[in-house]
Structure 1
């Protein structure tokens, strides 16, 4: 299967190869021509790859061929220490200060601010994907390619939603601390508040569309070399509720954009010094196995690959309690997820 992926990269044919969290099954979806298809209303069948600015359109890979194989987790050596660059530090600190100033005016409660960094690698895209599989078994790991979009790869810890027969599962994921062997994460007010904001937002957005909705208490979960706070969310959709409606209400979530969503998005587009494109978008299966089954993941801990250069994207949630220096360190810690692999 990896050999077929390499051939598609050479021939310029679209595909996505991926593994869901905590599973051994690897799935590859191949489109046999290079046309750029779009999702219209989420009734389509295939693999979806959507940008942060959803209004720009979501890409749909047609499932002309689907291959499945099994991969058992193999032993891998722990990561060594890496030297992190301070390039972009001052610009990012200024961006965070602008975000805090905007929050203090009362126009925003939270805004997620990010940056892009670049690193060189000698590894091929399939080799990077294989490394992600081995090191991040709890993540949705993927390698996506379309000649008219580019090549993206990542290991995201966040589920946007899974839906099967009107049963929906999602999560409220926010807050970050570095993983230290033998230590339990000690969450401060800022992190607890940030995660609660996301839970409250999802409850507000979904309640009117559900027969039932249950949000569990937040728990610490590990994602590679990081800790996050996560609440599992389960519900049953009303018969009239469509996947399209749910997606439009949840994306972008406060975990990748902010509160209120539209004002936070406007701030991001105005003040971030680059365009996110597919970072903090979403991707996953759309009616691929059966007509009422969808599995979508938020595109975090990801990179865009161009030749030997990887563009890596990292960010963090800013609230009134944020400290710019700590927020910079958080993005540095998040960058290790990809830099260790490269």
Structure 2
């Protein structure tokens, strides 16, 4: 039985069901550490795209921005509070051991490119297809109950598809010329009662990302402050994160900030263009919206833009779903260890769907 205090939330899910039935675009979402679930509903099925990021709505952008970012125009905006419900008993799902040889070969190619000096770091990923046992709405609620410190969302457009996720990474937040973002990199599995022990590979990877973001943003910032790296837990994983804050020049444009940050070194690599070319030439699938970004664009009275990197996500397709997992490859990477990291990451979403 649903919690009585979530009555309005379940009414929101009924509105979502109606949109699925009628083919009308929407996004429902909750920001990290908040209790409010918001919904943006479009009144028709037009596929609206944006290049200058001057419009208003919920933006859903691909890894390759040449493919255009989609915007759901707010015909109707709803919000309701959500109280975390008791977690349902669910068997632990272990990742299939599929395509291991293919991924090991991909990682080896990445390391070889780094050793040649073509790249400093590259993020390489793979796609895992599984049979669904839960609906998109059930998956979304599972994420709300399991990952309070992430951005949880459910997105639908009949001309794009159905996506859901719980991402721990902010791309950028801009409000009244104040900017905040983060440098997030490195991964270790969470073990109850134990703090993570970071090795030189993880520390170097995180420092590389921080330096790169500082360099990319410096031309748009009047002030820029980089915080110290901290261990942060997201689900069953640890990451290293540095908070980055500052004040934009009055002439800075959102599209320029997005172009400077996306795709981040945490999902693409360094240098960005060379890493992106390597990914698109060597990964065995097209990422589409995985490692793109999503969130509020010029919303509310303060015209706030709050965007998140599309990680820990699932794409629904009929009775099947696809999840995506990857890792940052550096000169110190070991292919077997990188495979294990993707296996650990995959359990985050496998348990939800």
Residue 318 in structure 1 maps to residue 316 in structure 2: no
TM-score, normalised relative to structure 2: 0.95
Equivalent residues of 2:59, 2:70 under 8 A apart: yes
Residues 210-289 of structure 1: matches in 2 within 5 Å? 210-289=221-300
Q: Distance in 2 between matches of 1:128 and 1:80?
A: 15
Residues 153-164 of structure 1: matches in 2 within 5 Å? 153-164=164-175
Residue 177 in structure 1 maps to residue 154 in structure 2: no
Residue 111 in structure 1 maps to residue 122 in structure 2: yes
Cα shift at 1:84:
2.3
TM-score, normalised relative to structure 1: 0.98
Other-structure match for 1:192: 203
Other-structure match for 1:292: 303
Cα shift at 1:122:
2.5
Secondary structure at the counterpart of residue 43 of structure 2: coil
Residue 97 in structure 1 maps to residue 108 in structure 2: yes
Cα shift at 1:79:
6.3
Residue 60 and residue 2 in structure 1: after superposition, are their counterparts in 2 closer, same or farther (change >3 A)?
same
Q: Distance in 1 between matches of 2:85 and 2:45?
A: 35
Count of paired positions: 342
Aligned CA RMSD, in angstroms, stands at 1.0
What do residues 113-157 of structure 1 show as CA deviations (whole Å, max 9, x unaligned)? 000001111211111101110001111000000000000000001
Cα shift at 1:10:
1.4
Other-structure match for 2:14: 3
Unaligned runs of 5+ in 1: none
Cα shift at 1:11:
1.1
Equivalent residues of 1:150, 1:305 under 8 A apart: yes
Other-structure match for 1:69: 80
Secondary structure at the counterpart of residue 98 of structure 2: coil
Other-structure match for 1:23: 34
Unaligned runs of 5+ in 2: 1-11
Cα shift at 1:288:
1.6
Equivalent residues of 1:175, 1:317 under 8 A apart: yes
Equivalent residues of 1:166, 1:292 under 8 A apart: no
Equivalent residues of 2:94, 2:347 under 8 A apart: no
Secondary structure at the counterpart of residue 148 of structure 2: coil
